[in-house]
Amino acid sequence: MYKWIMAGLMSAAALFAVFILLTQMPEKEEVSEGGAAFSVPEREVDAAAAQLISKNMCISCHGTDLKGGIGPDLTKIGSSLTKEQLYKTISEGRGGMPAFKDRLTEDEMITMATWLSSLK
């Protein structure tokens, strides 16, 4: 009987270890069709265009000054997320934030990611 209990405990511990390893692994980089890691194209920050998009799409959750409300404070988001991470969040959504890939054009999402990444 002791052997069965030990075998069960060892199996449970092994399954738990595999679960922990899988949930703690870093996310894979997004890879484009050509096989290279995804990157947002370099461009000048167009704050006026980004603020207009923000006024139309983001104010309800992030507030007029981007200090948060329903959504988090974005005033220094560029210090914690890369342009690529911001683009992915805008495009696909995250947590309670909806995806904007069907509401914004590719150019608008790049404009927003570039602008937000400059906020440090």
Task: Give pLDDT tens digits for 33-56.
Answer: 554 567 888 989 999 999 999 999
CA distance 30 to 2: 48
> Which tens digit of pLDDT belongs to each residue from 64-112?
999 988 999 999 999 999 999 999 999 999 989 999 999 999 999 999 9
Of the pLDDT bands very low, low, confident and very high (cuts 50, 70, 90), residue 1 is confident
Q: Inter-axis angle of helices 106-118 and 47-57, to 10 degrees?
A: 110
Residue 6 scores a pLDDT above 90: no
Query: Would you give the end-to-end CA distance of the chain in angstroms?
Result: 62
Residue 28 scores a pLDDT above 50: no
| Cβ-contact 65, 110 below 8 angstroms | no
Kindly report the pTM of this predicted structure: 0.69
Q: Which residue has the tokens 């904007």?
A: 100
CATH superfamily of this structure's domain 47-118: Cytochrome c-like domain (1.10.760.10)
- pLDDT for position 36: 54
**49 or 15, greater pLDDT:** 49
- pLDDT for position 107: 94
**45 or 31, greater pLDDT:** 45
